[in-house]
Amino acid sequence: MADQGGQEPIDVPVDDLKRERDAFIQQFFRKGAQLTEELLKENERLRDKVADLEAENSKLAAHLASDTAIRDLLRKIDQLEQEKQDLLKRHARVQADTSRIDVDYREIESELANLANLYVAATQLHSARTVRTCIRNLKELLAQFCGAAEFAVYFVSDDKTELLAIASEGVHPDQVARVPLTDGPLAEVFRSGRLQLGSSPDTSKGTLQDPAAIVPMQLDGRTVGIIAIFGTLPQKTELINVDYELFKLLGAQAAPALVNARLFADAGRKVPSVQAFVAAED
């Protein structure tokens, strides 16, 4: 068969066509296999990515759960801290109340002890039936309850010109036997009828000229004598509340106790008949 140019047609060998077909098919399958391989690799990569995402999601879920637990724990800690503060405040209030109760208890205990001392002092004064016993009791009260180391008990003379010592302790009797009612601290207290303290803050440093305390003794509203505490024991350097209370008691009760003891002795230590009391009622 001739072509339009008058040339002989070119015959393509059958083997060449087969080779081309096989090459095309091989190339097609290679591309397909390559594409399939790439798809498989991409699929594997995607599976790995999904696994990573799932692992990350698990981590995030665990972290979220951990955060929630931490938040719950922090809330619990805050709650416990608040409870602790409340307990500390309650403890402080209870401790303050306890301290106040302890102070009140000690004050009451001290007051009871003071009242007991005053009761004993009054009882000892008025239980005496002789002047000697009354003076001895008075001296014991001054020494034991007031801590007096040097003192004297005075009564005014009949002519009201001087004070005469009826008892003394820790001083020479001649030094305190008589005190003129002209001047000096003892005369001043007798005239004023008021308690007077010495100028030294240390009561153990008192002297005859500047006694630590001078207590007027009253009888029926009149000053009839004084108690002069010239100095206290070395370990007692100041006066406290119970001392002032005892001074008041001695100032009001010592003179009547001494006078009553004297009158009882003068009456032969006999109790008056009932008629004496009935007459006193009229």
Residue for token pair 């091989």: 26
Band the pLDDT of 275: cuts 50, 70, 90.
low
pLDDT digits (tens, 9 = 90+) for 12-49: 566 777 777 777 777 777 777 777 778 788 888 888 88
Q: Which position has the higher pLDDT, 4 or 177?
A: 177
Listed residue (199, 264, 257) closest to 227, CA to CA: 257
Listed residue (102, 131, 146) closest to 244, CA to CA: 146
Q: State how far the Cα of 106 lies from the Cα of 111, in Å rounded to an integer.
A: 8
Give the per-residue pLDDT at 174: 94
Range 127-146 average pLDDT? 88
Give the per-residue pLDDT at 189: 96
Range 118-145 average pLDDT? 85
Q: What are the structure tokens assigned to 257, written together? A: 């106790």
Q: Of 93-97, 114-118, 220-224, which gets the smallest average pLDDT? A: 114-118
pLDDT digits (tens, 9 = 90+) for 66-109: 778 788 888 888 888 888 888 888 888 888 887 787 777 677 77
pLDDT for residue 6 is more than 80: no
CATH topology of domain 128-271: Beta-Lactamase (3.30.450)
- Residue 219 three-state SS: strand
pLDDT for residue 282 is more than 80: no
Q: State how far the Cα of 135 lies from the Cα of 133, in Å rounded to an integer.
A: 5
pLDDT for residue 5 is more than 50: no
Band the pLDDT of 277: cuts 50, 70, 90.
low
Residue 245 · residue 118 · CB < 8 Å: yes
- Rounded to 5°, angle at Cα 129 from 148 and 250: 35
pLDDT digits (tens, 9 = 90+) for 52-65: 877 877 777 777 77
pLDDT digits (tens, 9 = 90+) for 139-148: 998 998 889 9
Give the per-residue pLDDT at 279: 61
Range 110-124 average pLDDT? 74
pLDDT for residue 4 is more than 50: no
Give the per-residue pLDDT at 1: 43
Band the pLDDT of 276: cuts 50, 70, 90.
low
pLDDT digits (tens, 9 = 90+) for 146-204: 899 999 999 999 999 999 999 999 999 999 999 999 989 999 999 999 999 999 999 99
